[in-house]
């Protein structure tokens, strides 16, 4: 249901009024909303399973693992920490200002806009929402129109559980997005592509609105040569888990491509094939455990990536495309050309290029010559190599010996750098990203420092120099007349 | 660098191509890893310190040329504050650079996690004319401490300072990683066209929008330190003399009101205003004498543009009759005396833009609490000040007034407190710096999670089943008991 400009302005006016009323500032209100969100998820699990299945062919296990379960966990975590997060943080002040006190108080920005993506349509809408509510803001949520059933679900269900004067949902396409971006927000949180992220930030610049942009990129997996068959088995399972087993590769932190030494490639491919078969059977098309491509546009985009003859030649497994069912089977490529679109654009689908190198150390240079990714995955037991990757590459996050699990960590900031994003969230970072940290300094009237005031003279100059050096000893000497 | 080369460099046009080459060079240096080393960062900070120790007279002189800034203000608010910043960075740098361990939960057991700070890369710092040394080099301290390469673009409105900065950086700093570009709009535009890894801009909100829009093209994060109309609320029942003195220091004692955190205007009750006015007049005379236009302890107005701007504010019909103290001007010397105005209309020009000068309107209200409504009806300022002994009023102030920072019973001093983040909100800016916040704002905090090859739960992987769903639920919830129970009761998927 697309919204007209007038409707958007009315909704925004109400959100502003609600914020001004001060109701969202209370800890009790915020906790109630978080509890209501948990209730929403508990009561509507089946509906959510159904919506995700309709939009993306997601299996309930994936939906629970990547959407419902994560949000419940985040909401519970926020509930348990909220008092701590909301408490002012005392800060020590230099003796010079005695008597004085300092603290930092987190206050909500005001009215925030959250634009979420279609691949994890519940997670990417509600996870930022938790942060915005916890921080005391009022919210306009704009789900992605590409995940149609989920967008409807959110628009219908959120008003039934959450305070509809403070949290609103607006659905619609590009035109609605444009109208929303014309408004003045106190914060914008956007999840999506770098191209649109740039448009969002440009719009935000007109009002000096701070932004958090969760974007994407080509997340590489570095595979050091492993000797233990058990380690190889676990590695391959985790790689598949980070690719085909998560929305069939349509995930911003998914493994985009693999870097491996030439001598290890064959073993890797064999192992991948075996595990794919184990997970999805002989005919992955018939498996209920693998998601569909979101729509025709993306299906065609992916098909086009494989059309390049040099790329098609590089297929070593898979390659089946079924347009009617919007299904592409797990496909592995070996050494496609590095200048082909499949190696220059984020794939966001079930195609996994394997790039071979002479020496795995070259992976660092390979990654650094490309835009900074949202995540780098590295499978290795070599501690020296690990250190080189940590200090030699830059990415939103870096995971050793696994994929995707950083989502589960409430204590780690989740966000990009460079092309992969600005800002971060999850856990208390969500609270922070929606808060203005206001510094407060309090002084009292007694204990005046006369040398603070003009007219200026040499003594006052000396005094202030020592004061700003916090050289209390010499300051005392000066005051006692013992210092020249 | 010889004077011939210097002249040559000055005559070269700095256009987009030149800017692009600059950035390329700096990227090369950054890629070499040079700026990441602790040794490099310390050496550069120490060089900055040496520069300040050795060249303070030159700095004081440049500031006198550009702003007629009193020597004490230059020495203390530009040089001394900077030295404090450098000292603190040198002392804490190792600690700041150390990754922060993060506690992981049972859900990812076994695992270890830390947050590793890393430099963004090549940063652009654009600074203003009012505190040309402090506001250029304080961000530079942060950028260096965080391990970045950088370009500094000082303001052309303070030309002696800009020129001196370029010269000093050339003499003391590592030119392969730190450069100064002088110039005006054309040069700034050429710089803004480039792709930077971070941009720090201190100045006004109009230009800030241009900076952020340029940054948006390359998805460059920004730190914007802007301004606003920082109000001072005066309650009754205070030590009026001390309060007035502190207020005067924050206003005329800070570059003659030309500072982003200067008190812009006062709000007080109708009853208290006469007393307040008397005290202000007294203290102003104590500080600056009977002829403040002649006082050496006040900066001048920076240039004729701003002089004209401020004159226009005073000549406004709605306001010219409201002057209750001061108002004297000397166009040739670019001086305006400390001027107080009483009860100017809220829709006058002087109340609709940041004054940034030695004019101080006093607004009066019936009840002191009404002042908070007035403040909140405007755009969020960089700072807000309150003088009171009333605990309840203090609490209300903290709870209802949104600004970058608040100070109770003083003005401007929070600038010198490095344990407090210094920055604005919405119209007054985004991001914060000073102390460790400077290091943080120029760093990307990378999450690093390490797992072993054991500790894999089949429930993660397809083929998916109802049994896996049950186990997954308890696993994600992190309930240890739930996990054990589920594992014991769980049969083949």
Query: Which one of A109, A236, A248, A438 makes the best mutation probe of the B interface by having the most chain B beta carbons within 10 Å?
Result: A438
Burial class of residue B288 in the structure, from the number of CB atoms within 10 Å of its CB (0-12 exposed, 13-18 middle, 19+ buried): buried
pLDDT tens per residue, range B257-309: 999 999 999 999 999 999 999 999 999 999 999 999 999 999 999 999 999 99
Residues B275 and B129 in one domain: no
Residues B72 and B101 in one domain: yes
Q: How close does chain A come to B68, measured CA to CA in Å?
A: 15
C-beta atoms of A288 and B113 within 8 A? no
Residues of A in contact with B218 (CB under 8 A): 198
Written in H, E and C, the secondary structure of A258-299 is EEEEHHHHHHHHHHHHHHHHHHHCCCHHHCCCCCCCCCHHHH
Q: How far apart are CA B173 and CA B176, in angstroms?
A: 9
- Indicate the pLDDT class of residue A265, thresholds 50, 70 and 90: very high
CATH of the domain at B89: 3.40.605.10
Residues B90 and B64 in one domain: yes
pLDDT value at residue B206: 97
pLDDT tens per residue, range A6-30: 999 999 999 999 999 999 999 999 9
Q: Span A156-165, mean pLDDT?
A: 98
Positions of B marked catalytic: 225, 260
Residues B273 and B415 in one domain: yes
pLDDT value at residue B1: 47
Residues B175 and B194 in one domain: yes
C-beta atoms of B219 and A280 within 8 A? no
pLDDT value at residue A406: 82
Q: Predicted ipTM?
A: 0.96
Residues B157 and B298 in one domain: no
- Indicate the pLDDT class of residue B3, thresholds 50, 70 and 90: low
Q: Is the pLDDT of residue B10 over 70?
A: no
Residue B193 included in any domain: yes
Residues B381 and B256 in one domain: yes
Q: Is the pLDDT of residue B491 over 80?
A: no
Residues B243 and B299 in one domain: yes
pLDDT value at residue A79: 98
Residue B429 included in any domain: no
Question: Does the CB of B217 have a partner CB in chain A at under 8 Å?
Answer: yes
pLDDT value at residue B493: 32
pLDDT value at residue B486: 65
pLDDT tens per residue, range B429-488: 999 999 999 999 999 999 999 998 887 777 778 888 888 888 888 777 767 777 777 666
Nearest to B75 among A207, A396, A465 (CB): A465
- In our burial notation (b when 16+ CB lie closer than 10 A, e otherwise), range A58-97 reads bbbbbbbbbbbbbbbbbbbbbbeebeebbeeeebebbebb
Question: Does the CB of B108 have a partner CB in chain A at under 8 Å?
Answer: yes
Q: How close does chain A come to B371, measured CA to CA in Å?
A: 16
How big is the CA angle at B177 (ends B445 and B165), to the nearest 5 degrees?
110
pLDDT value at residue B492: 35
Query: Which one of A100, A201, A454, A466 makes the best mutation probe of the B interface by having the most chain B beta carbons within 10 Å?
Result: A454
Mean pLDDT of chain A: 95
pLDDT tens per residue, range A34-90: 999 999 999 999 999 999 999 999 999 999 999 999 999 999 999 999 999 999 999
Residues of the domain holding B195: 2-226+435-445
pLDDT tens per residue, range A349-403: 999 999 999 999 999 999 999 999 999 999 999 999 999 999 999 999 999 999 9
pLDDT value at residue A409: 86
Q: How far apart are CA B396 and CA A402, in angstroms?
A: 50
Q: Span B420-437, mean pLDDT?
A: 98
- Lowest-confidence segment of A273-277, A445-449, B151-155 by average pLDDT: A445-449
Note the pTM of the prediction, 2 decimals: 0.96
Helix-helix angle A45-56:A27-43, to 10 degrees: 70
Query: Which one of B35, B251, B464, B468 makes the best mutation probe of the A interface by having the most chain A beta carbons within 10 Å?
Result: B464
Residues B112 and B202 in one domain: yes
Q: How close does chain B come to A99, measured CA to CA in Å?
A: 11
Residues B198 and B250 in one domain: no
pLDDT value at residue B9: 52
pLDDT value at residue B490: 52
Residue B441 included in any domain: yes
- Indicate the pLDDT class of residue B84, thresholds 50, 70 and 90: very high
Residues B218 and B260 in one domain: no
Residue B64 included in any domain: yes
Q: Span B53-61, mean pLDDT?
A: 98
Residue B274 included in any domain: yes
CATH of the domain at B330: 3.40.309.10
pLDDT tens per residue, range B166-211: 999 999 999 999 999 999 999 999 999 999 999 999 999 999 999 9
Residue B335 included in any domain: yes
pLDDT tens per residue, range A178-237: 999 999 999 999 999 999 999 999 999 999 999 999 999 999 999 999 889 999 999 999
| Integer CA distances (angstroms), A22 to A16, A138, B183, in order | 10, 10, 47
CA dihedral B66, B69, B71, B75 (to 10 degrees): -80
Mean pLDDT of chain B: 93
Distance from the Cα of residue B282 to its chain's centroid: 33
Residue of B nearest to A454 (CA): B287
C-beta atoms of A240 and B461 within 8 A? yes
Residue B452 included in any domain: no
Q: How close does chain B come to A231, measured CA to CA in Å?
A: 6
Residues of A in contact with B31 (CB under 8 A): 368
Residues of A in contact with B449 (CB under 8 A): 397-400, 402, 405-406, 409, 412
Residue B430 included in any domain: no
In this structure, the number of other CB atoms found within 10 A of the CB of residue B225 comes to 26
Residues B127 and B174 in one domain: yes
pLDDT value at residue B110: 79
Q: How many domains, in total, are found in chain B?
A: 3
């Amino acid at each position: 249901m697309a919204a007209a400009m007038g409707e958007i302005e009315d909704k925004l006016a109400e959100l502003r009024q609600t914020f001004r009323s001060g109701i969202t500032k209370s800890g009790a209100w915020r906790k109630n909303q978080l509890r209501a969100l948990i209730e929403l998820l508990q009561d509507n699990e089946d509906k959510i399973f159904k919506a995700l299945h309709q939009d993306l062919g997601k299996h309930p296990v994936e939906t629970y693992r990547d959407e419902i379960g994560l949000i419940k966990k985040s909401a519970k975590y926020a509930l348990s920490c909220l008092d701590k997060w909301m408490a002012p943080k005392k800060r020590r002040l230099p003796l010079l200002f005695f008597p004085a006190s300092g603290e930092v108080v987190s206050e909500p920005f005001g009215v925030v806009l959250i634009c979420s993506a279609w691949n994890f349509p519940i997670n990417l809408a509600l996870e930022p929402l938790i942060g915005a509510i916890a921080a005391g803001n009022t919210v306009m949520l704009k789900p992605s129109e590409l995940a149609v059933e989920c967008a409807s679900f959110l628009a219908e269900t959120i008003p039934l559980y959450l305070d509809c004067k403070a949290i609103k949902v607006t659905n619609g396409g590009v035109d609605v997005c444009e109208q929303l971006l014309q408004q003045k927000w106190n914060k914008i949180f956007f999840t999506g592509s770098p191209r649109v992220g740039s448009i969002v930030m440009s719009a935000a610049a007109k009002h000096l609105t701070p932004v958090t942009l969760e974007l994407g990129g080509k997340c590489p997996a570095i595979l050091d040569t492993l000797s233990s068959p058990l380690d190889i088995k676990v590695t391959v399972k985790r790689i598949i888990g980070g690719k085909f087993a998560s929305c069939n590769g349509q995930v911003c932190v998914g493994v985009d491509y693999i870097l491996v030494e030439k001598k290890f490639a064959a073993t890797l491919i064999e192992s991948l094939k075996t595990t794919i078969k184990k997970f999805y059977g002989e005919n992955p098309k018939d498996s209920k455990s693998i998601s569909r491509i979101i729509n025709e546009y993306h299906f065609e985009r992916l098909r086009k990536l494989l059309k390049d003859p040099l790329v098609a030649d590089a297929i070593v497994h898979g390659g089946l495309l079924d347009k009617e069912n919007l299904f592409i089977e797990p496909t592995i490529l070996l050494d496609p050309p590095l200048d082909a679109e499949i190696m220059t654009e984020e794939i966001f689908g079930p195609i996994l290029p394997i790039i071979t190198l002479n020496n795995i150390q070259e992976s660092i240079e390979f990654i650094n010559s490309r835009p900074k990714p949202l995540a780098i995955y590295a499978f290795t037991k070599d501690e020296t190599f690990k250190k080189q990757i940590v200090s030699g590459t830059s990415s939103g996050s870096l995971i050793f010996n696994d994929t995707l699990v950083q989502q589960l960590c409430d204590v780690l900031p989740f966000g990009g750098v460079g092309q992969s994003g600005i800002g971060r969230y999850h856990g208390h970072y969500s609270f922070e990203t929606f808060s203005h940290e206001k510094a407060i300094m309090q002084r009292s009237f007694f204990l005046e420092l006369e040398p603070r005031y003009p007219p200026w003279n040499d003594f006052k100059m000396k005094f202030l120099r020592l004061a700003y050096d916090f050289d209390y000893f010499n300051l005392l000497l000066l005051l006692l007349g013992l210092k020249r | 660098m010889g004077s011939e080369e210097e002249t040559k460099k000055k005559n070269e046009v700095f256009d987009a191509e030149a800017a692009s080459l600059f950035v390329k060079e700096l990227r090369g240096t950054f890629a070499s890893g040079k700026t990441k080393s602790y040794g490099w960062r310390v050496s550069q900070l120490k060089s900055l310190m040496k520069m300040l120790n050795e060249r303070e007279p030159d700095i004081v002189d440049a500031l006198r040329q550009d702003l007629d800034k009193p020597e004490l203000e230059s020495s203390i608010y530009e040089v001394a504050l900077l030295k404090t910043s450098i000292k603190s960075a040198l002392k804490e740098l190792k600690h700041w650079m150390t990754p922060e361990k993060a506690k992981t939960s049972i859900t990812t057991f076994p695992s270890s996690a830390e947050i590793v700070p890393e430099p963004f890369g090549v940063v652009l710092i654009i600074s203003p004319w009012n505190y040309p040394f402090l506001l250029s080099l304080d961000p530079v301290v942060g950028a260096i401490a965080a391990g970045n390469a950088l370009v500094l673009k000082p303001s052309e409105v303070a030309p002696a300072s800009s020129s001196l900065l370029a010269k000093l950086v050339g003499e003391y700093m590592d030119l392969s990683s730190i450069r100064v570009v002088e110039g005006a709009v054309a040069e700034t535009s050429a710089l803004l066209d480039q792709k930077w890894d971070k941009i720090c801009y201190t100045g006004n909100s109009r230009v800030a929008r241009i900076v952020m829009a340029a940054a948006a093209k390359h998805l460059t994060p920004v730190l914007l330190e802007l301004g606003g109309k920082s109000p001072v609320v005066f309650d009754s029942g205070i030590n009026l003399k001390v309060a007035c003195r502190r207020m005067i220091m924050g206003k005329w004692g800070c570059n003659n009101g030309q500072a982003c955190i200067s008190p812009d205007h006062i709000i007080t009750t109708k009853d208290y205003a006469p007393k307040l006015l008397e005290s202000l007049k007294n203290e102003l005379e104590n500080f600056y004498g009977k002829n403040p236009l002649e006082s050496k302890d006040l900066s001048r107005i920076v240039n004729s543009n701003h002089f004209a701007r401020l004159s226009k504010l005073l000549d406004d019909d709605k306001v010219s009759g409201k002057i209750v103290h001061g108002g004297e001007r000397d166009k040739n010397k670019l001086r305006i005396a400390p001027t107080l105005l009483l009860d100017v209309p809220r829709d006058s020009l002087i109340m609709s833009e940041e004054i940034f000068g030695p004019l101080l309107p006093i607004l009066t209200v019936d009840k002191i609490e009404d002042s908070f409504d007035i403040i909140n009806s405007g755009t969020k300022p960089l700072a807000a000040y309150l003088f009171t002994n009333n605990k309840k009023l203090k609490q209300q102030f903290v709870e209802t007034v949104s600004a970058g920072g608040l100070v109770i019973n003083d003005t401007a001093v929070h600038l010198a407190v490095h344990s407090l983040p210094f920055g604005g909100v919405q119209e007054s800016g985004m991001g914060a710096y000073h102390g460790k916040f400077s290091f943080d704002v120029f760093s990307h905090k990378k999450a690093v999670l390490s797992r072993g090859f054991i500790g894999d739960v089949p429930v993660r992987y397809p083929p998916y089943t109802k049994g896996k769903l049950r186990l997954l639920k308890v696993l994600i919830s992190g309930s240890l008991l739930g996990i054990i129970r589920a594992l014991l009761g769980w049969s083949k998927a």
